[in-house]
């Protein structure tokens, strides 16, 4: 249901967080390396055929010049979520963030924080959940669990102050 793509295997550690979030929410995904610069024909094929393969959302992670999310968004009408990745050739990640954020009118890319692949996975689930009641219900449960985690942390904080 969700395509997770990245420009290089070095992006895998960050992008795995999107996959983990989708697994937690029971959403199927595929994960592939699709480089905008090294395999442009593959990128074109991937993006153009995404809807026919049953994808609903594409999460694209990229570091450095980070052209993958925007180029994929230019080739499909599916929602694309960009994950800027702090890479070894990056300028503190700002090059990736700005490359993904600064898309021209008509080619939007939803952009999460630097290395924010977990939020990309959750956002993809929310997009799917807007039209799928089962996914929406799992997201409601997930959101409730966040409240519970904060309550537990608050108790831990109070207990540590009292001692």
Average pLDDT over residues 33-60: 97
pTM summary value: 0.94
**pLDDT band for position 163 (cuts 50, 70, 90):** low
- Whole-number pLDDT of residue 92: 87
148 assigned to some structural domain:
no
Q: Does 59 have pLDDT greater than 90? A: yes
- Whole-number pLDDT of residue 90: 80
38 assigned to some structural domain:
yes
Domain span at residue 12 reads: 2-132
* CATH value at residue 104: 3.40.50.1970
Residue labelled with tokens 């994929």: 72
69 assigned to some structural domain:
yes
Q: Does 162 have pLDDT greater than 70? A: no
DSSP structure class, residue 95: H
Name the CA dihedral angle for 131, 24, 97, 48, rounded to a multiple of 10 degrees. -50
Residues 87 and 10: their CA atoms lie apart, in Å, by 8
156 assigned to some structural domain:
no
Helix (H, G, I), strand (E, B) or coil at 6: strand
Query: Count of residues for the chain?
Result: 163
**Phi and psi torsions of 38, nearest 5°:** -95, -25
Q: Does 124 have pLDDT greater than 80? A: yes
Whether 58 and 2 have beta carbons less than 8 Å apart is answered as: yes
Tens of pLDDT, residues 9-25: 999 999 999 999 999 99
35 assigned to some structural domain:
yes
Tens of pLDDT, residues 85-115: 998 888 888 999 999 999 999 999 999 999 9
Average pLDDT over residues 28-56: 97
150 assigned to some structural domain:
no
8 assigned to some structural domain:
yes
Residues 2 and 125: their CA atoms lie apart, in Å, by 9
- Whole-number pLDDT of residue 32: 97
- Whole-number pLDDT of residue 120: 98
Look at the chain and report how many structural domains it folds into: 1
**pLDDT band for position 138 (cuts 50, 70, 90):** very high
101 assigned to some structural domain:
yes
Average pLDDT over residues 114-124: 98
Is residue 132 a known part of a binding site?
A: no
Helix (H, G, I), strand (E, B) or coil at 149: helix
DSSP-derived secondary structure for 42-82: HHHHHHHHTTTTT-SEEEEEEETT--HHHHHHHH-SS-EEE
Is residue 8 a known part of a binding site?
A: yes
Is residue 10 a known part of a binding site?
A: no
**pLDDT band for position 150 (cuts 50, 70, 90):** very high
Burial class (CB in 10 A: 0-12, 13-18, 19+), 89: exposed
């Amino acid at each position: 249901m969700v395509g997770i793509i990245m420009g290089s295997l070095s992006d895998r550690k960050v992008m795995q967080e999107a996959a983990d979030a989708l697994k937690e929410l029971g959403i199927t995904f595929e994960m592939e390396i699709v480089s905008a610069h090294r395999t442009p024909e593959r990128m074109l094929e991937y993006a153009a055929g995404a809807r026919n393969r049953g994808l609903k959302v594409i999460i694209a992670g990229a570091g450095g010049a980070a052209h993958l999310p925007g180029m994929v968004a230019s080739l499909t009408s599916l929602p694309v979520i960009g994950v800027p990745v702090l890479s070894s050739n990056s300028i503190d990640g700002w090059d990736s963030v700005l490359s993904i954020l600064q898309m021209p009118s008509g080619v939007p890319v939803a952009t999460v924080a630097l290395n924010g692949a977990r939020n990309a996975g959750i956002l993809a689930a929310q997009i799917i959940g807007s039209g799928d009641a089962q996914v929406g219900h799992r997201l409601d449960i997930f959101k409730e669990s966040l409240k519970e985690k904060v309550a537990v942390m608050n108790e831990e904080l109070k207990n540590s102050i009292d001692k």
